[in-house]
Each structure stands twice: as C-alpha cells, then as structure tokens.
Amino acid sequence: MALSYLRSSSSRSANFLKPLSSAASLRRPISTDTTPITVETSVPFTSHQCEAPSRSVETNPSELLTFFRDMALMRRMEIAADSLYKAKLIRGFCHLYDGQEAVAVGMEAAITKKDCIITAYRDHCIFIGRGGTLLEVFAELMGRQAGCSKGKGGSMHFYKKDSNFYGGHGIVGAQVPLGCGLAFAQKYSKDETVTFALYGDGAANQGQLFEALNISALWDLPAILVCENNHYGMGTAEWRAAKSPAYYKRGDYVPGLKVDGMDALAVKQACKFAKEHALKNGPIILEMDTYRYHGHSMSDPGSTYRTRDEISGVRQERDPIERVRKLILSHDLATEKELKDIEKEVRKEVDDAIAQAKESPMPEPSELFSNVYAKSLGVESFGADRKEVRATLA
C-alpha cells in the first residue's frame, strides 16, 4: 500500500514544478531576494474536521535557498554521524533523520523561536533547525564537554532552552504529555505562542498521547501534535501496528491534516495553518508523510523489513533536497554550479565541526555529580560527620 502511493505521487509531482507566476530570467542577487514566488505543493492536503489550507504556498528565493542549504547541512551532518558511529566515536543509540529534513526546515519557516518544539530521539536536525551549532551536535554525540548537554545526555538528549527546544527524549511517546504541558504553560502565561509536539507513527499508538490530547482539547491548549509518519515503527510497518493508519484522523474530535512531509513548502504551509488554528481553537494533529533512508537507528540496517528498491525509489522520486533543487533550478534562482558549491561548503563546515569536536575534552570526573539537583535554597549535603562535602547540590 505504501509503495503504490509513492508511485502515483511521482507522476503528479512533475507537473507542478513549473512556476505559476513567472519569475524574471535575469539573475538577481539570490541570497537576500524576497520577491514572492508561489509554488503548488506536490499533493493537496487531506483534512479531518477542518478546512484544508490552500495548495499554493508563498515563498521567495531567499527562503528556497535557505531551505536548500539547511537541508543539505542536515543531510551531510547525519551522514557524517553515520561514519563517526561506524568509527566507534559515537556509541550507544544514534537515530538518524536523513530523508525527513523537510519537516524540520518547513516547520522552522512557519514559526518563531518563541514557539516551542519537543520531539523524541530523532532530534539532531530539529536541534540544528532551532539554532544549534554543528559543534554542539558532534561534541554531544561523542560525549564531549562542548556538547549541548555537556556530554551527559547523548544523541537522544539534545536541548536548547534559549530557543525553546525541549528535546530530545528516549522513551517513546513520553514527550507528548510534556509537549501538552508546554502548551499549558504558554496558555497560562498568555504568550500567544504554540507548541509542536513531534512523535512517530510508532508512538501514535501510545495511550498517553490520547490522554494528553483529551486534556489539551478540554483546556483549549495551543498544542500541535505532529506525527512524523515514516511508515515504520522500528522494524514494524505501520499497517502491522495500527488498525487505523490514518494518524491525522485519530484525534476524533480534534481536527487533523495530512501533509506530504517530503515537501518543505507543504510542511511550511501546514505549520502556519496549524499555528493559527491552535491559537484560536485548541489542539490540531498534523500527519507528515515522510520517510527515513537509514534504519531506525545505527544498529538497524533498515533492509530486513523493507526492500532496497523501496528506499531507492523514494530517494529518486520524493527526496526533499532534490525537490527544492529542481524548484530553484526551474525558477533560475541559482545555477547547478552554485548549488554544488553550497553543498561543498556545507561538507567542509561539517568536517570542520567534527575536527573541532574531536578536540573537545571528555567531561571531568566531578561532572558526574553536577546537575543532579538544582542549587536550591543554598543547600550543601555533607558527609556523615560534617567534615567533608560529599555532594554539593550544585
């Protein structure tokens, strides 16, 4: 079923790469150009209990090039993480996001840094989207001090408080109630901001999701639940795990929207729509139809439960970076060479960051005990006879 959908969308997509409004063929300076361009999304949105937004998305050359650059950076970062893992510099669990980059960049384009994002363990690219640096990513993956969590979190625990990125969670589904709590805090403080709580098709079957959705709908919280449906919950295909794989409909009384998650512009449109909706009417579910090229994590080859043909098929027909590249080229916003240069630049950036991260030291042994507790009311905990400080609640 999943494969037939992929095949049919490809024939339609070719028609919509032609621009609807003509762009001048003169070469303009591309990096800051904000002349609006309207592009149609690959497929129309499917909606549940609400009116779907329009297929025509407003964008501009600057944004498209930013999309390209950001996605290329994320792609390169994830592939580099793959090599580092195989070189045993990254240990434990490493869940890679390549193939799904459009969700991260599309979402960022629609919101501000005051809106909150919370996701599960496939968080490297969302962290970058929120403003994290490559150095922080690689250092954290390698367990070094320069990492965003000082090396104590690891791949599944990236956080960036100042840009409202709340992680980074290892237990499937547990981040959704947290996300609804963030939305509650936003409503409490009357911020006029929203929270995007991301989860996967595997987590969509968790009970706590429905509990949190019920409470959010009851209390009218500005919570947007985003199901990144890459069709496989680790090794189990969605049709084997969910009686109803229409995740956007699962909210029942909560409206939902199904989006082509490989199309960054569609993601952007959907997120914009969702933000407006959530601020007025409470929670909404977005289902991003996306795909991951790697296996579930580095310990999963990813080919025992799906065919290589399927993977390469999606890569050829729906790859998010290729889509944006074709868009840029067909609108004459940059030449092939310029795009290739961007990719080379990005590659170098990633390599530099890895080299820098490798130089960052491992955490000090005393860091084992720091940040277990917050410094609270100035308490220090002494040893049994008060002579030595066994643990400072720092």
Partner 1 sequence: MAAIFQGVGAAAALSSLPSNSFDSNKSVFSPRRSFSVRKGASFAVVRSDGTVNLNPKGRRTQQLIPNAVATKADSAAASSSSKPGHELLLFEALLEGLEEEMERDPRVCVMGEDVGHYGGSYKVTKGLAKKFGDLRVLDTPIAENSFTGMGIGAAMTGLRPVVEGMNMGFLLLAFNQISNNCGMLHYTSGGQFTIPIVIRGPGGVGRQLGAEHSQRLESYFQSIPGIQMVACSTPYNAKGLMKAAIRSENPVILFEHVLLYNLKERIPDEDYICNLEEAEMVRPGEHVTILTYSRMRYHVMQAAKTLVNKGYDPEVIDIRSLKPFDLYTIGNSVKKTHRVLIVEECMRTGGIGASLTAAITENFNDYLDAPIVCLSSQDVPTPYAGTLEEVTVVQPAQIVTAVEQLCQ
**Contacts with partner 1, residue ranges (CB under 8 A):** 116, 118, 147-154, 157, 159-161, 166-171, 174, 176-182, 184-189, 207-208, 211-212, 214-215, 218-219, 370-379, 381-386, 393
d(C-alpha 151, C-alpha 143), whole Å: 4
> Considering the complex, what minimum distance in angstroms separates the CB of residue 185 from partner 1?
4
Tokens representing 248 are 């956007």
> Considering the complex, what minimum distance in angstroms separates the CB of residue 156 from partner 1?
8
- Residue 334: burial class (beta carbons within 10 Å; 0-12, 13-18, 19+): buried
**Cβ atoms of 151 and 167 closer than 8 Å:** no
Residue 221 or 327 having the CB closest to partner 1: 221
> Considering the complex, what minimum distance in angstroms separates the CB of residue 34 from partner 1?
33
**Cβ atoms of 192 and 113 closer than 8 Å:** no
> Considering the complex, what minimum distance in angstroms separates the CB of residue 167 from partner 1?
7
**Cβ atoms of 94 and 68 closer than 8 Å:** no
Residue 178 or 327 having the CB closest to partner 1: 178
Residue 59 or 164 having the CB closest to partner 1: 164
Tokens representing 178 are 């947290």
d(C-alpha 289, C-alpha 226), whole Å: 10
> Considering the complex, what minimum distance in angstroms separates the CB of residue 270 from partner 1?
23
Residue 92 or 301 having the CB closest to partner 1: 92
DSSP classification of residue 54: P
Distances (CA, A) of 85 to 132, 138, 140, 299, 345: 20, 11, 13, 10, 23
Helix-helix angle 264-281:320-330, to 10 degrees: 110
Residue 169 or 331 having the CB closest to partner 1: 169
> Considering the complex, what minimum distance in angstroms separates the CB of residue 257 from partner 1?
23
Residue 61 or 173 having the CB closest to partner 1: 173
Residue 28 or 390 having the CB closest to partner 1: 390
Segments in the chain forming alpha helices (H): 2-13, 61-86, 101-110, 124-129, 134-141, 175-188, 207-219, 238-241, 264-281, 308-318, 320-330, 336-359
> Considering the complex, what minimum distance in angstroms separates the CB of residue 208 from partner 1?
5
